[in-house]
Amino acid sequence: MTKLSTYHPAVTRIIENINKVIIGKQEPIILSLTALLAGGHVLLEDVPGVGKTMLVRSLARSVDCDFKRIQFTPDLLPSDVTGVSIYNPKTLEFEFRPGPILGNIVLADEINRTSPKTQSSLLEAMEEKNITVEGNALPLADPFFVMATQNPVDYEGTYPLPEAQLDRFLLKIQMGYPNAAEELRMLSSVDENHPITRVEPVMTKDELVQMQRDVTNVYMDRQIQQYIVNLAQASRKHPDVYLGLSPRGSIALARAAKAYAYIHYRDYVIPDDVQTLAPYVIGHRVLLRSEARYDGLTPEKLIQRLLEAVEVPVEKESVHER
Amino acid sequence: MPKKDQQLQVLRYLVYLCGFLLFWEWLRPLEEISDTGSLPMFVLFTAVCFLLSALKLRWWLSFLLKLVLTAVVLQVILAEENLLSGSWVALFQDEIQTNLQLLFTGELALLTPFFRTLLFLILLWLMSNLLYYWFIIANRIFFFIIMTFVYIGVLDTFTPYDGSGPIVRIFVLSFFAMGIAAFTRIYQTGEKQQLPKRLLLWSGPLLALLVLSAAVGYAAPKLPPQWADPVPFIQKMSGTDKEEAGSGGVRKVGFGEDDSQLGGPFVQDNSVAFWAATEAAGYWRADSKDVYTGKGWERSRQVQPQSFQSGESLNLDLYQEDVVKEPREAIVYPNVNEVLDRLLYPYGTQTFFSDPVSVAVDSDFGVVETFNRSQYPSEPYTIAFDEPQYNIEDLRRDPGIEDQNTHNRYTQLPETLPNRVRVLASEITGSEATRYDKAKAVEQYFNQNGFQYRTQDVPVPEEDQDYVDQFLFDSKIGYCDNFSSAMVVLLRAADIPARWVKGFTEGQPGSNPNVSAPADMDSYVVTNANAHSWVEVYFPETGWVPFEPTQGFSNPAEFTSEDDAAPETPEADTPEPDQEEEAAAPQQEEQPQAEEAENETAQTETSTAISPIYWIIPIAVLLIAVFLLYLTRYKWLTAYYVHKYGKERSEETYEKAYDYLLRLLAHKGYKRQSGETLREYAQTIDKAYGNSRMTELTAAYERILYRNEKSEPLWENAVELWENLIKQAAS
């Protein structure tokens, strides 16, 4: 991650801003921004207390977006997510009270604790970019960015997200623990006020939307597209894989790679972008055969093997083909 | 650490020295199996080449030095022209041109000695480079060692070369080299640095062990060969010849002393034996032999040369006084490079004028020896001779009664001679009345009855086989020695005194470029391929009359008949030989002998398979040159591409240049993995070379590759970076 050290100036501002409250964690920040700029969503999988909420909140504040949080519990209902119409005795009308999903940046905490019914209401919104409440279709805010978290340790009473749903997340990120030095710095910088108050917006919401639009204009050479396709094909043909990368996964990888290139202040994608993002994009989209899993194969190892096996395009052959 | 590197270098040079000594073993047999002379010169040349390679001079300096060395060696060996004179360059050009033509047309046998020597020197030169690469750079010696053993083994099996001594030397040398190489590897990884002491501790026992095991191996009783001798086996498999067996050495044509073991194939040697200018062309006589042993020819007594003064009569007594003769003159110009210690002379020679060369004559055998020819190698000698004309009527009238001594001496035959030879002799001659007609009948016998003139695939008689008997009844294949010996033996079996004569045919028209012969004489060039043997039959009233039984040759002696209307010349007598080439050759009655001889040589050359040695050297030079070019390909390719892409400006240049860089780096051990991106690879390279050139170069290349940018302007900026990088990588 550190090898690509030149960032887009706006991105640099955001990173520096977030770094005021989060020490270290460069990788999740960059990846979150990648998903945000690519118009995708992030599934954060990690143990509690590593700064997931703080990451999302500081990110939302930096880009001047309103932040909503949904704590998923087993008894949470879909209407708790989308919002509900309540009868107002004064006006004698039903008034719509928007749910938390109508914010710009939504933290869906412990998404696997709630029932599939409620999960799907969120996931549907993520995919469709609008919600249907009492027969009325409501558009979601723009930008709209969901960061869902799930706890990998505690499985009791959880409803694991089905594969089809996982596919809706552009990236799946692990937060990870800070290293000793970072943790030490954390302790010494704790003060009275909630740290989030130190974070000021560094850009407007409109600027963010503009950046998202710019990302779609990043040039992706046919060779890179071919490379992504080759990776997808390889993942499907791999003997240890039960379910390979879906076409939606390929598109996700291409989108993410563009955003990643943009963050690194490039207007073209290089194979390194694809390689760096591959574990985060592909990891939660493939299913390994159980035999392979018993043999100790993990999606990360699988992706590593795929990246080693698939030829990186280094010659301008496709140009001549065209 | 540099000190250790130096020490390692010393060890490698020690192995390299062993390599040279091993290569020397490659050169040693050449003297025996081929006509390579001046071997010490070649070994010296090789040694200097090895040394120059080892000195690590700049390549052009080393090249120049080796070039000069080649010229010097050529000069010393051939001594044709003075090295410093301008004509040398012209000669060189001329030689190269003509020989390259010959090379491309495949007429390898005609290559001049100059060019063959040059090729051989180039071969040695290339070998020194190759061994330097193997021993010092690649540090691989095993292959060469194996090749050396194979080489000596093959030579020992298929040629007369005796490899039992060399194999012991090679054993000690190669195992010592491998021992030192092993020590080098151990030393390389080890920590301690006391090289001399450790080397001594290592090589001392190593040498002792080697010498001991070699001695034990040499002295120990050995089983006889468990496999059959491969030579007859291979010949049998390839169907070369059923008869051919025993020690099948290939001999070389030319004039030699020892005729006691005749048989076997020989190689053509077209080097000049001498030049001659003569008023009457004829065979050049050199020697005669009288005792047939069953294997070859020997003398009944030692040659007893009588010293002779220039101008004195020689008393060669080849014919009687009353034979019609014509006084003639001839001049012989010896070839300085092929000094014969014999004088060649035509029939009827009266005297020599050979100041200052002193000469001794054994008139009985017709041997004219010289004593101090080597001091005057180029001294020509003049011969006055009476060209005889043999009257056929006189020959027919000859009663054929000679004194008992002469008769006994020239009808000698070995007891071992199979009886069927005698039977055949009486069959051939039985119906003829006179000695002349009997002799003619025997002479003609070889033109029919399935005899074939050949120089290759001529079988060597086996231990219990008679040389003539084998030729007459089994093989019917052979060259002049077979035909002439057979004729002499058949005549003797028919009780006609005859003897076996050696010398040269008249040669081909052509003059020595260095001397001008008298205008009224015909000039001839006589090569070693013209060496010949024929038959003389004794007629008491005429003398010794030459006969020519060999197919394709015709008797140059003049025969006259009183019946002038039909002059009975040998040509008229001789039916066309039944070989296709012969039949195709024009043979007119009055055709000059010389021209016919030319046909003969041409025929011999085409029908003779060229000795493999002529092929081996050019092919070996080519192969090794290609191999060396391949080994050093990244050196010269880099120089070429730096030059090319340094100037070139096109859309593809960056791509091609970058691609070559990747290949070069891969060759240098930095191979890019297929899943590795250029950036990651560039970082590896930069880490290895301690700069950031590759990353910079790659960053621009990425823009071309993944951003579809125009490469030309980018190349303009990157070319210097690329050059620096590629030079760093190539060094």
Q: Which residues of B567-583 are buried (b: 16+ CB within 10 A; e: fewer)?
A: eebbbeebeebebebbe
Residue that is last in its domain, among A159, A187, A210:
A210
Task: Chain B: give the shortest CA distance to residue A308, in Å.
Answer: 4
Look up residue B569 and give its amino acid.
T
H-only helix segments in chain A: 9-19, 26-38, 52-62, 78-82, 116-128, 163-166, 180-189, 205-216, 222-237, 247-263, 271-282, 290-294, 299-309, 317-321
Joined tokens for residue B586: 């024009």
pLDDT of residue B574: 41
For residue A279, being part of any structural domain is answered with yes
Contact B677 A270 (CB under 8 A): yes
Is the residue at A230 inside a domain?
yes
Task: Tell me: pLDDT of A164 over 50.
Answer: yes
Confirm if B662 and B678 have CB atoms less than 8 A apart: no
Of B674, B675, B705, the CB nearest to A316: B705
Chosen from B660, B705, B710, B712 to mutate, greatest number of chain A CBs within 10 A: B705
Assess B141–A contact: CB distance below 8 Å, yes or no.
Answer: no
Q: Are residues A140 and A21 in the same domain?
A: yes
Strand-strand pairing, B306-308 and B359-362: antiparallel
Give one DSSP letter per residue of B189-205, joined into a string: H-S---HHHHHHHHHHH
Q: Which residues of B touch A221 (CB under 8 A)?
A: 705-708
A86-113: per-residue pLDDT in tens?
A: 888 888 888 888 888 888 899 998 888 8
Any A CB within 8 A of B712 CB: no
Query: B663 — alpha (psi -120 to 50), left (phi > 0) or beta?
Result: alpha
Strands B508-509 and B291-292: unpaired
Residue A154 sits at the vertex; the CA angle it makes with A150 and A159, to the nearest 5 degrees, is: 60
Which of B725, B694, B699, B724 minimizes the C-alpha distance to B714?
B699
What are the tens digits of pLDDT across the range A11-22?
888 988 888 888
CB-defined contacts A:B, below 8 A: 54
* A88 occurs within a structural domain: no
If asked whether residues A147 and A276 sit together in one domain, one would say: no
Q: Which residues of B touch A219 (CB under 8 A)?
A: 707-708
Number of residues in chain A = 322
pLDDT (0 to 100) of residue A301: 92
The answer, yes or no, to whether the previous bond of B356 is cis (omega within 30 of 0) is yes
Same domain, A181 and A270: no
What is the predicted pLDDT for the residue at B616?
73
Residues A148 and A280 in one domain: no
As a three-state string, the secondary structure of B161-184 is CCCHHHHHHHHHHHHHHHHHHHHH
A223·B672 Cβ contact <8 A: no
| Same domain for A235 and A177 | no
Closest partner residue to A221 (CB to CB) among B673, B683, B706 is B706
Domain extent at residue A204: 9-74+102-210
Substitution target in A1, A312, A321, A322 with the highest count of B β-carbons within 10 Å is: A312
Could you tell me which of B450, B469, B496, B444 has the C-alpha nearest to residue B262? B469
> Nearest CA of chain A to the CA of B708: how many Å?
7
Do A59 and A191 fall within a single domain?
yes
* Cα separation, B672 vs A271, whole angstroms: 14
Do both A110 and A259 map to the same domain?
A: no
- What is the CATH classification number for the domain harbouring A183? 3.40.50.300
Report which of B46, B45, B25, B8 is spatially closest to residue B172, judged by C-alpha positions. Answer: B25
Q: Which residues of chain B have pLDDT under 70?
A: 1-4, 33-37, 79-88, 106-110, 191-193, 228-257, 265-268, 338-339, 355, 372-374, 562-615
In this prediction, residues A217-237 reach a mean pLDDT of 93
Percent of chain A whose pLDDT exceeds 90: 32
The CA distance from B527 to B402, in Å, is: 37
d(CA A283, CA B21): 64
Reported CATH class of domain B251-257+270-607: alpha beta
Q: Which tokens go with B77?
A: 């060996």
- Give the Cα-Cα-Cα angle B210, B214, B217 (nearest 5 degrees): 140
A135 half-sphere exposure, CB direction, 13 A CA radius = 0
Rounded to a whole number of angstroms, the distance from the CA of B702 to the nearest CA of chain A is 7
Query: Among A175, A210, A245, which residue terminates a domain?
Result: A210
Residue in B662, B674, B706 nearest the CB of A270: B706
- pLDDT of B100: 80
pLDDT at residue B76 in the model: 77
User: Which residues in A lie closer than 8 A to residue B679 (C-beta atoms)?
Assistant: 3, 270, 272
Q: What is the CATH number of the domain that holds A266?
A: 1.10.8.80
In a domain, A90, yes or no: no
Query: Which residues of chain B are within 8 Å of residue A269 when distances are taken between CB atoms?
Result: 706
Mean pLDDT throughout A60-69? 89
Residues 6+ apart with CB under 8 A from B671: B665
Going B250 to B253 to B254 to B257, the CA torsion angle's sign is positive
Three-state SS string over B212-246 comes to HHHHHHHHCCCCCCCCCCHHHHHHHHHCCCCCCCC
Are residue A59 and residue A143 in the same domain, yes or no?
yes
* A243 within domain boundaries: yes
Question: Which chain A residues are within 8 Å of B705, Cβ to Cβ?
Answer: 221, 223, 313-316
What is the per-residue pLDDT for B109? 65
Task: Encode burial over A247-273: b for 16+ CB neighbours within 10 A, e otherwise.
Answer: eebbebbbbbbbbbbbbbebebbbbbb
Q: Domains of chain B: which residue ranges? A: 2-226, 251-257+270-607, 632-730
- On whether ipTM exceeds 0.90, the answer is no
Question: CB–CB of B532/B467 below 8 Å?
Answer: no
Helix, strand, or coil here: B465? Answer: coil
Contact B674 A224 (CB under 8 A): no
Dihedral sign computed on CA atoms, order A12, A17, A23, A25: negative
The reply to whether A249 and A123 lie within a common domain is: no
Predicted local confidence at residue B128, as pLDDT: 85
Residue of A269, A279, A277, A273 lying closest to A305 (CA atoms): A279
B433-458: pLDDT as tens digits: 888 888 888 888 887 777 878 777 77
Place of tokens 């051919």: B244
**What is d(CA B209, CA A154) in angstroms, rounded to the nearest whole number?**
73
How far is the alpha carbon of A36 from chain B, nearest alpha carbon, in Å?
24
Position A256 scores a pLDDT of 95
Q: Which of A3, A309, A316 sits opposite B655 (nearest CB)?
A: A316
The reply to whether residue A312 touches residue B704, judged by beta carbons under 8 angstroms, is no
Instruction: Specify whether A143 is located in the same domain as A182.
Output: yes
Instruction: Find chain B residues with C-beta within 8 A of A1's C-beta.
Output: none
What tokens does B166 get? Answer: 């060399």
Of B678, B704, B706, the CB nearest to A224: B706
- Chain A residues touching chain B at CB-CB below 8 Å: 3, 219, 221, 223-224, 267-272, 275, 307-316, 319
Last residue of a domain, one of A210, A236, A269: A210
Contacts of B685 (CB under 8 A, 6+ apart): B665, B670, B694
- Cβ-defined contact of B706 to A268 (cutoff 8 Å): yes
Q: Is B679 on the interface with A (CB under 8 A)?
A: yes
Whether residues A272 and B683 touch (CB distance < 8 A) is answered with no
Q: Is B595 exposed, middle or buried (0-12, 13-18, 19+ CB in 10 A)?
A: middle
Contact A312/B708, CB-based, under 8 Å? no
Give the integer Cα–Cα distance in Å for B71 and B77: 10
Residue from B330, B331, B334, B332 nearest B271 by CA: B334
Residue A285 lies in a domain: yes
Q: How many domains does chain A have?
A: 2
CB A308, CB A231: distance < 8 Å: no
